[in-house]
A = this chain, B = another copy of it.
Amino acid sequence: FCKLSYLFINFALGSRYVSKTATKSVSEFEYDAPSMKTAVPGPKSQELLRQLGEIQNVGAVHFFCNYEESRGNYLVDVDGNRMLDVYTQISSIPIGYNHPALMKVMTNPNNVSTFVNRPALGILPPENFPDKLIESLLSIAPSGMRRVQTMACGSCSNENAFKTMFIWYRERGYANPSEHEVDTCMINQSPGCPDLSILSFMGAFHGRTLGCLATTHSKAIHKLDIPSFDWPIAPFPKLQYPLEEFVRENAQEEARCLEEVEDLIVKWRQKGKPVAGIVIEPIQAEGGDNHASPDFFSKLRNIARKHGCAFHVDEVQTGGGTTGKFWGHEHWGLDDPADVVSFSKKLLTGGYYHRDELKPDKPYRIFNTWMGDPSKNLFLSEVLNVIRRENLLEVVTRSGKALLQGLYTLQTQYPHILSRARGQGTFCAIDACNDATRDSIMIKARNKGLFMGSCGEKTIRFRPALVFKEYHVHQLLNILNDVLAEHK
């Protein structure tokens, strides 16, 4: 049966790539296919779940992993199940498990000290810190940006990006704070702590610390019971698919959202809580893989400029090559796409770039103990070398096309189950008819050796590593087809 479905998919996709990629992508360190021994989670995972449950809430744990045995695109669990992993630790493993280039970083004796002595980067950086920033983060800097600040994680990156925008917004027009501002800020009151706001979008996810959480609107469970800020929230376009059939409707929908953005900026200014910055993801990920057109982002960027708001593009999930370009916003084709770009996940270190105008005027305004971790920068340098050497952005573009084409075929074949296949590079998604069906498909696929992620209400999201080749695309589609055929 598996064989039959494989042939079917080959036919549907056009079989011309199959034999070529099949030989090419079985590199010396990777496995060639999933291999399942038990249902997942297996007995060993279940025993460990019980143990960890005494210490933490384990309701979100899928299974326990054997990371030593995992290779490339294949994640091995403690029960010996080997799965094709297209979720990659919530999209944070850039070049697969145990990539030989990263193993080498570990065994290079020159690197030991960087791991053992974590510095307070803001006061006592290591000798090679400027060089490492130049060869890693600055070599991939977004258009127009020469300044970068590392942070430990995505939430800290966005929190500090927001602070950078607040500081920038307030500094126009005066140099030093008044005594009254100094006094009031110490007790959380205006004007020292001013009523400024960040405009975000319904469906957005920018993190879960209290500042970030005020701009996150993807799922209630993230926000319930946590105090928040009265900041404006605009609608994000709800596009209808297939796009080519709804050109007019989608353009109207985007225009409606942009109009609402301008209304909110005016309204919050009148409220005395002016919008210092607008934050947006190039593709809303956690919120359900919601896309908008380059035209929408271009117009939004202009609105930000017109109203004197900083424009912050959150590339925590879209950054690092997964869309086929290094940054998701490069698809907009703008010379001046953003004032701030934040990142984390596939870049291994968190942080954000910003334009010169947004540099803080004084030290200790953007500051914490560690300000990132140079050992993550070491890995990032090597990841970038691998991306260049192995032309991984081309691989992503090629695999992404095959994946999306395969998803189109599946939704044509199973229209009562699947719809709205969409994606950029391998950053792809498809909707199930409801959440129960989506969850059931994911569990069945997992038991056949395909580990996927979910997002939004009923969406399956694909977040493979950059080393995900067409060979792996076909494995994915075969398993998904098998599951759907049983569902039919």
Binding site for B on A (CB under 8 A): 44, 48, 51-52, 54-68, 70, 75, 78, 89-90, 92-93, 97-99, 102-103, 105-107, 110, 112-120, 122-127, 129-130, 133-134, 138, 146-149, 152-156, 159-160, 162-163, 166-167, 169-171, 177, 181-182, 185-189, 192-197, 202, 207-212, 214, 217, 219-231, 233, 344-345, 348, 359-360, 362-370, 375, 379
CA distance A171 to B224 in the complex (A): 11
Residue pair A154, B89 in contact (C-beta under 8 Å) = no
Residue pair A127, B90 in contact (C-beta under 8 Å) = no
Q: Which of A44, A182, A365 has the most CB of B within 10 A?
A: A365
Residue pair B59, A364 in contact (C-beta under 8 Å) = yes
Residues of chain B lying within 8 A (CB to CB) of residue A115:
106, 115, 375
Residues of chain B lying within 8 A (CB to CB) of residue A123:
60-62, 89-90
Please judge, given known A-B contacts A97-B117, A146-B55, whether A89 and B166 are in contact too, CB under 8 Å.
no
Known pairs A52-B129, A93-B118 / 20 extra A-B pairs, C-beta < 8 Å: A48-B127, A55-B130, A60-B123, A89-B120, A92-B370, A159-B209, A159-B210, A166-B226, A167-B224, A186-B223, A188-B229, A192-B224, A193-B224, A193-B226, A194-B225, A196-B225, A197-B227, A208-B367, A210-B214, A221-B362
Please judge, given known A-B contacts A129-B64, A227-B166, whether A153 and B363 are in contact too, CB under 8 Å.
no
Please judge, given known A-B contacts A55-B138, A210-B162, whether A369 and B116 are in contact too, CB under 8 Å.
no
Q: What 7 pairs across the A-B complex have the smallest Cβ distances?
A: A59-B363, A210-B211, A60-B363, A188-B228, A193-B228, A89-B120, A159-B209
Please judge, given known A-B contacts A187-B233, A209-B211, A210-B211, whether A127 and B370 are in contact too, CB under 8 Å.
no
Residue pair A227, B195 in contact (C-beta under 8 Å) = yes
Please judge, given known A-B contacts A57-B359, A209-B155, A228-B193, whether A125 and B370 are in contact too, CB under 8 Å.
no
CA distance A55 to B241 in the complex (A): 43
Q: What's the minimum C-beta distance from A248 to chain B, rounded to whole angstroms?
A: 29
Residue pair B194, A59 in contact (C-beta under 8 Å) = no
Residue pair A90, B120 in contact (C-beta under 8 Å) = yes
Residue pair B210, A188 in contact (C-beta under 8 Å) = no
Residue pair B102, A60 in contact (C-beta under 8 Å) = no
Residues of chain B lying within 8 A (CB to CB) of residue A194:
225, 227
CA distance A272 to B438 in the complex (A): 42
Residue pair B211, A211 in contact (C-beta under 8 Å) = yes
Residue pair B207, A368 in contact (C-beta under 8 Å) = yes
CA distance A130 to B120 in the complex (A): 29
CA distance A162 to B51 in the complex (A): 26
Residue pair B57, A362 in contact (C-beta under 8 Å) = yes
Residues of chain B lying within 8 A (CB to CB) of residue A345:
369
Q: Quick one: closest B residue to A63, CB to CB? A: B124
Residue pair B125, A64 in contact (C-beta under 8 Å) = yes
